[in-house]
Structure 1
Amino acid sequence: MSTVHVHRASQLEQVEAPGHMLTKTAAKALAVLRYATGFVFLWAFADKLLGLGYSTPSAKAWINGGSPTKGFLSHVEVGPLQGFFHTIAGTWYANWGFMLGLLGIGLALTAGIGLRIAAAAGTLMMALMWLAEFPLAQHTAEGAPSGSTNPLTDYHVIYAVVTIVLAAAYAGHTWGLGRRWAKLPFVQRNRWLI
């Protein structure tokens, strides 16, 4: 085999190796998207925990006895799971699950580790929130306009797709700890942790 063929085969192997299928510019763009998306989750966590005054006033902060889920879930006005969401609104397990999900997804995305788990958890969380807002409905249970602007694709769907793309593209390898994480022995034994 000639030197040219060996060099070409080596280039093809590099292109097909996980984490090496993107241009450097695309990898950096995905890293920026990863940080931005991670910050969305971390900000929601911090605002609900501390009541930073954006969507959660200080008096309703979790550390001040407020509930991170009660306000949103108790006001679900549409969809087939309306009663279910009202039932779990403000419960300890809904609060803890929501807050741990926000924190875990945000930290994983920001650090660039465990992106497969973050994608699964983020997709589940976004699916539940999509079901709570149920954009398919044009009207609430009481007949008022639901405010839905798109029956299928809203920001919940976009965030879910983003987390999946970030995991699939090994976006934690650029400007993150993804490469180091993937080399850890327990991650090597449990590839689902990548």
Structure 2
Amino acid sequence: MKNLFTLLIMSIILSSCTDDNNGLTKALALQNIKACDAENPVEFIKGIYVGNMTYQDSGTSLTELGYIKKLAKKGVLTLDSLSSSTQHMSNHVRTNTLYNITINPQYKQHITKQNNNIAYVRLVSRQVQEITSITLKNQVRAEVMVNFKKVKTPFYDKLFDNSTSLKTRQDMFTEAIGFSKSNKDGWTSCFLKESL
């Protein structure tokens, strides 16, 4: 009887020591979200022509050139006019200008990939700041409230921000992230590639 009483007391003590969130801590959630964002970032990328490119003085070409000129004025890239020609249309004259565009070295860190003469640059992304709360839905599901910061790169221009998940967000925002628990991986919020 004494052993049964001791066993009962020990189980009560052990159960009181387990955490309220079934092993999902703020530190673990933060580490997981950072790993997920590194693997599959929430961001918006835009293609920019580099090298020699001809722009027209009308339509979408003019809009794109306006964006390129803003970046050149900020010192993000170098824009050199090489030559210009006029083209007579049925009701107007169109000017075509050949430019050489180079992204300045200190801003190349924002290039996510390059394909021939198109550099894909990050305009905006999110950066995790802190975990504010963890709500356990059941033993294998949880909702984590996370504060994020919206990070705009020097390439950012609202006109070209077509991101669905970041465009309407304030510079600081809170988002609920779902977590699930499995026997193999423990608590996760995304499917990360396994280490080789």
With normalisation by structure 1, the TM-score equals: 0.31
Larger Rg: 2
